Amino acid sequence: MVDSMYIHIPFCNRICTYCDFNKVLIDNQPVDAYVDALIKEMRQIEPMTLRTIFVGGGTPTALSEAQLEKLLLEIDSRFTVTEEFSFEANPDELTMAKLDLLHNHGVNRISLGVQTFNDELLKVLGRSHGYDDIFRAISHLEEIGLTNYSIDLMYNLPGETMDDIKDSLKYISELKPKHISWYSLIIEPHTVFYNRIQKGQMKVDDDEAEGEKYMYIMGELAKLGYPQYEISNFSEKEYESAHNKTYWKNDEYFGLGAGSHGYVGGKRYYNTKPVNHYIRAIEENGSAVKETVELTLNEQMEEEMFLGLRMNRGVDMRRFEEKYGRSLDSVYGDVIDDEKGKGNLMEKDGFISLTKAGRLVGNSVFIGFLN
C-alpha cells in the first residue's frame, strides 16, 4: 500500500551556486500551467488517506499565494494526511500570509532552508536570504504555532571554519528546533561551484577535514538533545521525519511534478524534467513518466540495505525476511561478517546497523551489498 507522496515545485527566485536539482528561475515560467498540470497529475490517483506528503523543490515557497492556495485546496480535497505533511520553505519567502495558508491547509511540518547562519557564506552559496530572514521566519513559525520545523544546514562549505559550525550549534541551542538536517556540501557537475573548482577558483576541504567536522557535528548535536537517526538527520525524540524515513525504509511513494521520482508496485519511475515537457505530457496523456524500471528481487534487497543502513537503527532483520522471504543472513551473511570484522557493522536487538566508524565510510560499506 503506497501511502507517501512527494510533490516537486521546480521554481526558484534565485539559483544557488551548489544546486543541481531539477529547477528553473521562476521569471517568465508557466507557473500557473504547471500548478494546473500538477493538479491534473494528482487526479490520476484515487482520493485516499496518505501517511505523509512532502512538497519540495526547487522552492515551493516561490509560488504565489494564489498558486499555493490552488495546490493546497486540491491536496486537501483529495487526500487525508494522517502523519506528516511537510513543506520546504526559504526563510525570506516564508511570509506570514503564506505560512497561514500552509497552516490552514494541514501542513504540519516545515523544512526551513537555512543552510548556514553566516551571511558571508550565504552569499557564496547564492542564497536569496540573509541572517535576519532566518530569525524572522522562525518567529513567524512560533507565532503561528507551527513548532515542528526542521533547520536544514550544510557544512564543508568553501571558506567555512569550525567557528561557523560552532555558531550554528549555538543558534540551534537557542532556537530549539525539533529537527536538524545537516548535509555536507557535495560538488555536483552542472553547478557554479563545480565550474569554479574546475577552474581552480575555489577550494573545499578534503574528506579528512570533512570527516572531522562530521564527527564533531554528530557529537555536539547529541549533547544538545538531537540524537542522530540518519547519516545527515538529527531530531528530538518523536520528531524524526516520517516522510524521509519512507525512502530509507525502502517503502513505496508517489512522485509528482517535473523530474520527480516515484516507487510504486516494485517499479521505480521518474517524470520528464523540463517544465514545458512535463506540462505538455500531463495535458496530453495525464502522465509524464519518462522511464519505469522494475526492480529485480536482488536490486530490491540491495536497496533495502544501502538505504536502511543510513538509519542509525539500521535494517530490521525480521522485516527483511518478511519482505523478501529470505533471511538477511542467507543473502548477505558474508558481507555482514566481513564488515563486522572491520568494525563497520554491528548487530543489536534484531537490527543490523553501521557503527560510528562505519557511518563515516558508509559508501564503502554499502558497495559491498551491490552485486
Residues contributing to the site for other proteins (CB under 8 A): 6, 8, 21, 56, 181, 183-184, 186, 206-212, 214, 231-232, 244, 247, 253, 255, 260-263, 268, 270, 293, 299, 302-303, 306-307, 342, 344, 357, 359-364, 366-367, 370
Nearer to other proteins, 236 or 303 (CB): 303
Closer residue to other proteins, CB minimum distance, 101 or 172 = 172
Instruction: Name the nearest CA neighbour of 176 among 235, 115, 94, 112.
Output: 235
The CB-of-182 to other proteins minimum distance in angstroms stands at 8
Could you give the CA distance from residue 219 to residue 280 in angstroms, rounded to a whole number? 49
Residue whose cell numbers read 488517506: 49
What is the β-pairing status of strands 267-271 and 289-294? antiparallel
Q: How far is CA 310 from CA 37, 198, 300, in A?
A: 34, 30, 16
Strand partners, 80: 49
Nearer to other proteins, 138 or 360 (CB): 360
Minimum Å gap between C-beta 296 and other proteins is 12
Which position has the grid cell 493538479?
39
Give the nearer residue to other proteins in terms of CB position, either 8 or 179: 8
Distance of closest approach, residue 205 Cβ to other proteins, in angstroms: 9
- What single-letter amino acid sits at 150? S
Extended beta strands in the chain, E state: 4-9, 11-12, 24-25, 48-57, 79-89, 109-115, 149-155, 179-184, 228-230, 233-235, 254-256, 261-264, 267-271, 289-294, 315-316, 345-348, 351-354
CB of 81 to other proteins, least distance (A): 17
Round to whole Å and give the CA distance between 247 and 256. 15
The C-alpha torsion from 28 through 92 and 221 to 165, rounded to 10°, is 90
Q: Report the nearest approach of other proteins to the CB of residue 330 (Å).
A: 21
C-alpha dist (Å) from residue 121 to 17, 19, 156, 295: 11, 15, 11, 41
Backbone angles phi, psi at 195, to 5 degrees: -65, -40
Decide whether 8 or 129 has the Cβ nearer to other proteins: 8
> Judged by CB, which is closer to other proteins: 55, or 107?
55
Cβ at position 166, least distance to other proteins in Å:
19
- How crowded is residue 185: how many other Cβ atoms within 10 Å of its Cβ? 18
Please, what is the minimum distance in Å from the beta carbon of residue 208 to other proteins?
Answer: 4
Smallest gap, in angstroms, from Cβ of residue 235 to other proteins? Answer: 14
Q: Is the dihedral of CA 82, 87, 91, 93 positive or negative?
A: negative
Q: How far apart are CA 244 and CA 191, in angstroms?
A: 25
Residue closer to other proteins, measured from CB, 125 or 360:
360
Give least dist CB 127 to other proteins, A.
17
User: What letter represents residue 280's amino acid?
Assistant: R
